[in-house]
Structure 1
Amino acid sequence: MFQQRDSNAINEEELEKTIAEIRSEIDHFKTDSTFLQVLEQRIFYLSSRSGRRNLPLVVLVHDQINNSSIWSENDTLRTLSSNDFNFVALDLPGHGQSTGPSLENAEKSESFAQFLQIICSEFGQENIVVCGASMAGQYIVPLLNLPAVRGVNIKGLIAIALSDAEALNLSKPLPKTLLVRGELDTSLGPNSAAVFKRFENCDEKIIENGRHFCHLGSTAVEFNRLLINFLKDL
């Protein structure tokens, strides 16, 4: 007697297809970690290159008391991956797993510029968006003041209460910029925004109930929403 086949059963071909789709989705959200030698610094960074290369590469720069892991903890990395953006989140020299001698202020822009040149070359993406918080300004602001960085096109900037804004060259145009600060940040956030708003192409967003690190904690969801909206509008 023939055994009746369960109509709800998945055949072998369908099962293999389902497994392949699951593996593809896992790979899409996979975050790699590695080191890169830049001058005397051994820089650790998290990255994903499973997104679309026609979209800008997002470079994430942490604040003074944290490291690259905060971008995973606040779900920014997953948000970027789910929207098909490639990203790099580095540990600044002297932070996290990065090693090497301390850098003088004048050396920070050179080190950061070389890091970006190597990363853009490896990823095959020239257009980038730099997203930095607080003391990351020590690296980002001098970079913005440079005439150009070969092989790197800064298409956008997301400045989260960024330090060192007063050192910006007011005669040099900025890329399209999103200023983000917390409603409860009454010092660096407003002071930084006051300088940035002297440039064209700057849009300010204030996160309700947000503190200085408004991209973390309970207001991270709102920050990630602003981040993606900005990236999609570029």
Structure 2
Amino acid sequence: MSAVRMTEGSVQVESCKAPLFYRQSEPAAGEVRMSVLLLHGIRFSSENWLNIGTLETLARAGCRAVAIDLPGLGRSKSAEAPAAVGELAPAGFLREVCEQLSLSPAVVISPSLSGMYSLPFLMQHQALIRAYVPVAPICTDKFTAEQYQSVKVPSLIVYGDQDAQLGELSLSNLRNLANHSVVVMKGAGHPCYLDDRDTWHKALTDFLKTLFICTKEWSDMDRCPEKKELNHPHTPTFTLTHSDGCSVETHSLSLPLTFHPLSKTHLGSDVLGLLLPVPLPACFSASMFVTSNSTNNCTECVVKFKL
């Protein structure tokens, strides 16, 4: 079983007047596949994610997971909340948290109270969010169906079937998200992740696996060694910058794919990220035509995917 590194720290967010406490988990060795930001409800804190094993589970799945204590709660009691409970917080709050912790783009896990923070962030800063996991959050009624439909971020909606207060209510609004799936946890209440942590962790890790589809590393113009990670797209175009400064662009594809530009430092080399529709067949191929702007040479690369 892979080792996990756990740390604690604090981050200064300008609007809070005092630091926010956080707990962090990550693989002790090996590549970090993605970043996850965990929020919490009004009666809880980052300690709950530690105690039920979610921080450890995410690190073992190859994630860097950061659980913050929201302003005025947990070990962030001295921090000033940017909005009253039940009111929408400025989207810039979580943007600054992610910037200060170098989390973007992050998978955002948002139960209950934290909806007042995560939903404005989702609506205004999709480019900073890799995926969204709302767990019966508040404030879902403060946005229109059209606003939800404009969100293209992959989302996993989770709630307990015994949550009479926010379960079905939040679902009725969140189901308007353009790219979502739903997990209903049987016999679980409002903090459903506490009632059935095994089901919660399985649902979460299964969802994360859909984000780990495929990344290609280009060693040169003719060879495309396979990698194993998906990078969530935030733009419909793709440009790959090589170490020699030339630019490579795709010209045509045999399958509809979406591209995400990645810095060459992400895996220590030039990387192409692909987002493919799921579910997928076990094995298929796509042809890519790439051109080097420095040489104007066009090369066809047939990439075979095996899931």
Q: Give TM-score scaled by structure 1 length.
A: 0.79
Question: Structure 1's 167 and 50: CA in aligned 2 closer, same or farther, altered over 3 A?
Answer: same
Partner of residue 100, structure 1: 79
- Tell me how far apart the structure 1 counterparts of residues 52 and 25 of structure 2 sit (CA, whole Å): 16
Partner of residue 115, structure 1: 97
> Relative CO higher for 1 or 2, CA cutoff 8 Å, sep ≥ 6?
1
Question: Structure 1's 106 and 164: CA in aligned 2 closer, same or farther, altered over 3 A?
Answer: closer
Runs of 4+ in 1 over 4 A off after TM superposition: 51-54, 105-108
8 Å Cα contact 1:56/1:86 also seen in 2: yes
Identity of aligned residues (%): 23
Q: 1:53-202, aligned counterparts within 5 Å?
A: 55-98=33-76, 99-104=78-83, 105=87, 107-120=89-102, 126-146=104-124, 148=125, 153-168=128-143, 169-170=147-148, 172-202=150-180
What's the offset of the Cα at 1:107? 4.7
Moved more, 177-186 or 96-105: 96-105
What's the offset of the Cα at 1:228? 0.3
8 Å Cα contact 1:137/1:164 also seen in 2: yes
8 Å Cα contact 2:69/2:75 also seen in 1: yes
8 Å Cα contact 2:151/2:178 also seen in 1: yes
- Tell me how far apart the structure 2 counterparts of residues 110 and 138 of structure 1 sit (CA, whole Å): 12
8 Å Cα contact 2:40/2:110 also seen in 1: yes
Question: Structure 1's 106 and 191: CA in aligned 2 closer, same or farther, altered over 3 A?
Answer: closer
- Tell me how far apart the structure 2 counterparts of residues 70 and 33 of structure 1 sit (CA, whole Å): 14
8 Å Cα contact 1:128/1:156 also seen in 2: yes
What's the offset of the Cα at 1:145? 1.7
CA offsets per residue over residues 137-164 of structure 1, 9 Å max, x none?
0100111121x37xx6311011111111
- Tell me how far apart the structure 2 counterparts of residues 166 and 203 of structure 1 sit (CA, whole Å): 19
Secondary structure of the 1:112 match is helix
Q: Give TM-score scaled by structure 2 length.
A: 0.61
- Tell me how far apart the structure 1 counterparts of residues 158 and 79 of structure 2 sit (CA, whole Å): 31
What's the offset of the Cα at 1:171? 5.2
- Which runs of no fewer than 5 residues in structure 1 stay unpaired? 1-21
CA offsets per residue over residues 159-198 of structure 1, 9 Å max, x none?
1111111223335224111011111112211111111112
Superposition RMSD in Å: 2.0
Moved more, 73-82 or 107-116: 107-116
Question: Structure 1's 115 and 53: CA in aligned 2 closer, same or farther, altered over 3 A?
Answer: farther
What's the offset of the Cα at 1:220? 1.1
Equivalent of residue 6 in structure 2, options 24, 28, 31: 31
8 Å Cα contact 1:134/1:160 also seen in 2: yes
Letter in 2 for 1:117: E
Moved more, 44-53 or 220-229: 44-53
8 Å Cα contact 1:215/1:223 also seen in 2: yes
What's the offset of the Cα at 1:106? 5.6
- Tell me how far apart the structure 1 counterparts of residues 80 and 72 of structure 2 sit (CA, whole Å): 8
- Tell me how far apart the structure 2 counterparts of residues 198 and 126 of structure 1 sit (CA, whole Å): 24
Matched, 1:228 2:205: yes
Secondary structure of the 1:226 match is helix
Secondary structure of the 1:69 match is helix
Equivalent of residue 211 in structure 1, options 164, 177, 189: 189
Higher helix residue share: 1
Partner of residue 8, structure 1: none
What's the offset of the Cα at 1:118? 1.4
8 Å Cα contact 1:181/1:207 also seen in 2: yes
Partner of residue 11, structure 1: none
